[in-house]
Amino acid sequence: MIHAKNKIMTLGICLSLTGSAAIGAENITDADDADTIIVTAARIPTKKMATPADTTVITSRQIEDVHYSSLSEALQHVTGVTIVNFTPGALDLFRINGDDRVVVLVDGRRMNSDMGVGSGRANVNLEVLPPISAIDHIEIVRGNGSALYGSDAVGGVINIITKKRIENQSAFEVNTGSWGTQQYNLTNAGSHDKTSWFIDTGYGKQNYMKYHGVNGTMKQNNTDFRDNTLTLRVNQKINHASSLDAAYDHKSFDGNVPGAVSYPSPLALQRLTNNVAFTYHFKENTDTPAYVRYYNNYTTTYEATRFSSRTQVIDAQNTWKITDDQTLTGGLEWRKSNSSNADSGYSNKVLINQAAYLEDIIAISSKMTVTPGIRLDNNSQFGFHKTPKIAMNYQADNNTNFFASWGRVFSAPQTDDLYYNVYYSDYGYGMYGNENLKPETGYSESIGMNHRFDAKTNISVSLFKSKIYNAIRWFDDPVTYDWYVYNLNSEKKSGIDITLQKQINKAWNYDVGYSYINTKTDTGIGQGFMTDIKNAQPNGYHVGVYYAQNAWKANLQMTAGTGRNTTVYSNNSYVLWNGGVSYDASKNTTVYFKMNNITNKRYETYTGYAVGDYPMPGRYYQLGVKYVL
C-alpha cells in the first residue's frame, strides 16, 4: 500500500496542480458533424476528424428545436444508447453499447455515485442531473480509450455542458400536457464587467402516468410527483488567461413510486440533491488549458428508509506542449465518498480513491496521431491498480479518418454491493451484499471510421468489444426469493454502431442509426458463456427527420429495438415514434406542440419478476410556449 502511494506521489511531483474545464462547442447543424469540436475525449478542443473515438454531440440547436423535456429523451435518439426506465421521472438509467458502466460528467465533474442506484452496475440516475433547460450541449464518447476520466468507463463517457452565456438575456417557458403534467422554467443570463452568470430555476408536476398494458391503456397510480430545480453558474475573470467558476445544482423530488405491475408496492419517495463546485482556470485561451477544482456532490433519499451519499473531490489537470508534435496531459484526483443506508445494514462507509494519470498525444506524421496513457488508482478498499490505455487516429484526408482504442478496466464494487443487508418481512425476501467481492477488471477496445461524402453527408461506423473478469451481478434465489451478489467468471460484449447524417437542403435534414449489441456472461458454474436474455435492445434503430424554414420547425423521430427475449419482455420488438412542431409567433415568442409514443406502443426496457412489470410511458402530448426577453 505504501509502495502504491509512493508511485502516485512520484507521478504527482511531475504535475503542476492544474487543468481545464469543458469548453462549449459551437452551435452546428447536422451537416457540420465532421467539424464538430469535441472536448470530452481529450479535454482539449479537438475536431471530430482528429478524435480517436466514436463521438456524438447533441447540440444546443437540437435541444432547442426538438424541445426535449429531459436528458433521457435527448439521449434516447443516440445510436448505441438505451434508456432504462425503472420508474419514469424518478429513476432513469441508461446504457452505452449495452453497458451501464458509464462515466457521467457535468462540465467535466464526475457525477457517478460509489453507493450505486439499485440496478446492475449503474451508478448515475439521470433524474438527479441538471435539467435540460440548463444544458447547452451533450457530448457522448463511446469506449474506454482515455486515462482522464477513470478506468470504469467501459461503455463510454457522457459530458453534459451547461449553459454559460454572457449576453444579457432572460427567458420564461411553460408547458402542460397529459397526466396533469406542468412545467415552469425561468432563466437569466448576463454579464457585468468581469463577472458573468447563468441562473435556471424550475418547477414541475405530474399527477399520474398511463401506459399500454396487456388490457390496453392502463392508468398507473402512485406515479405522481412534484420537483424543483435550481442551477447557478458564476464566472469571475481574473485576467485574460485565468478565471474562477462557482457552480451550484439543486434538485428536490416529492412523489410516489408504484413498484411492479404484478406486485404493486407503492412507496413515498422524497429526494434532495445539492451539488457545489469551485474551479480555478488558468492558461485559458491557449492550446494547453489547465485547472484546479473542488466539488461536493450530495444526495439523500427517503423511500421507506433513508439513504444518503456524499462525494468530495479535489482534482487538478495541466497540459504541456512538449513540441509541435507532442502534447502531454497529466492530472491528480482525490475522491472521498461517504455512504449510509442504516436500515439496510450500513452507515458512514467511507471509500477513498487517489489517482494520477498521464496521456500523451503524439503526432507520428501529418496524418497519424498515437495517444498512449496510464492511470494509477489507489483505492482504500481494493488497493493499487494501474490501467494503461492507447488510442490511434489516422486522418486519410480532410473527409476521412480511422480510429482505434484499447484500455484496461478497473471498477470497484459499490457500497450497496458490499454492505447491503436487509430482510423485507412484508414481502418475504431479503437482499444481502457481499464484503468478499473482488473489483471488476478486464479490457475494452474499439475501431471505427468517419467519412464525409460531401458537405452535406457524413457517416460514422465503429465496432466495439469488451471482456470483464469478476463481473458483479445480483441474482435471486428461485426458492427463497432472496437476492445475493456475486462475482461472475466473466462477461463479454461486442457489436457495431452506424450513424448516417444528411442535410437535404436548407430546410430539411435527417439522420439514420443502427446498433447491434451482443452480451454474454459466464457465471462460472460450468455452463460457459450464455446470451444475456435481459438485453433490452440487441438491435437498435434510429431515424430522425427535421424541418426548419422561416418561423416553422418540425421533427419526427423513430427509435426501435428488435431481437428481444419474450420470456422477460412483452414483445420481441418495438417501434417508438416521437414528433413535434414549433412556430415562432414573434421574435421573442415560440409556441410548440409535441407528442411522444404516438402509436401508444407497449414496451419495457427494464425487467421484473413478471413480464411487463415496469412499463414505459404510453402516448403523451405536450403544449408549451417560450418567451425570451
Beta bridge partners of 57: 139
Please tell me the predicted confidence (pLDDT) of residue 29: 40
Return the exposure string of 403-433: e unless at least 16 CB atoms fall within 10 Å of the residue's CB, then b.
Answer: bbbbbbbbbbbbbbbbbbebeeeeeeebbeb
* Residue 24: predicted pLDDT: 33
Q: Tell me the C-alpha distance between 253 and 46, whole Å.
A: 38
> Which phi-psi region, left, alpha or beta, contains residue 88 (left: φ > 0; alpha: ψ -120 to 50)?
beta
What confidence tens digit (pLDDT) does each residue in 203-236 have? 999 999 999 999 899 999 999 999 999 999 999 9
pLDDT of residue 37: 64
Which of helix, strand or coil describes residue 477? coil
Question: What secondary structure does DSSP assign to 289-328, as a single string?
Answer: -EEEEEEEEEEEEEESEEEEEEEEEEEEEEEEEEETTEEE
Domains held by the chain: number:
1
* pLDDT for the residue numbered 28: 34
CATH code at position 25: 2.40.170.20
Query: Rounded to whole angstroms, what are the CA distances from 158 to 41, 129, 334?
Result: 10, 12, 21
pLDDT of residue 85: 82
Q: Around 11, how many Cα atoms within 13 Å sit in the side-chain half-sphere? A: 25
The pTM of the full predicted model, rounded to 2 decimals, is 0.92
161 with 24: CB under 8 angstroms? yes
Residue type at 520?
A: K
The reported pLDDT for the residue numbered 34 is 56
Contacts 24+ apart (CB under 8 A), 473-478: 473/120, 473/521, 474/120, 474/417, 474/431, 476/429
Q: Which three cell numbers stand for residue 193?
A: 464587467
DSSP SS3 for 372: strand
Q: How does pLDDT run across 261-320, given as a tens digit for each residue?
A: 998 889 999 999 999 999 999 999 898 999 999 999 999 999 988 999 999 999 999 999
DSSP assignments along 223-284, one per residue: --EEEEEEEEEEEEEEETTEEEEEEEEEEEEEEEEEE-SSSEEEEEEEEEEEEEEEEEEEST
Find out whether 259 and 267 touch, Cβ atoms under 8 Å. Answer: yes
Residues of the chain with pLDDT under 50: 1-31
Sequence-ordered strand ranges (E) for 563-629:
573-584, 589-596, 620-628
Q: List beta partners, residue 229.
A: 202, 251
Which residues partner with 521 through β-bridges? 491, 530
CB-CB neighbours of 518 under 10 Å: 16
pLDDT in tens, 453-480: 999 999 999 999 999 999 999 998 988 8
Please, which residues have CB within 8 angstroms of residue 376's CB and are 6 or more apart in sequence?
4, 7, 8, 11, 355, 356, 357, 384, 385, 386
What's the N-to-C CA distance of the chain in angstroms?
58
C-alpha pair distances (Å), 495 with each of 308, 462, 466, 492, 519: 37, 9, 10, 11, 9
Which range marks the domain in which residue 320 is found? Answer: 2-628
As a whole number of Å, the CA-based R_g of the chain is 23
**Residues 270/276, Cβ–Cβ less than 8 Å:** no
For cell 453499447, the residue is 97
Phi, psi angle pair for 528, to nearest 5°: 75, -160
Question: Which of 606, 598, 468, 474 is CA-nearest to residue 537?
Answer: 606
Residue 170, helix vs strand vs coil: strand
Q: Is 418 strand, coil or helix?
A: helix
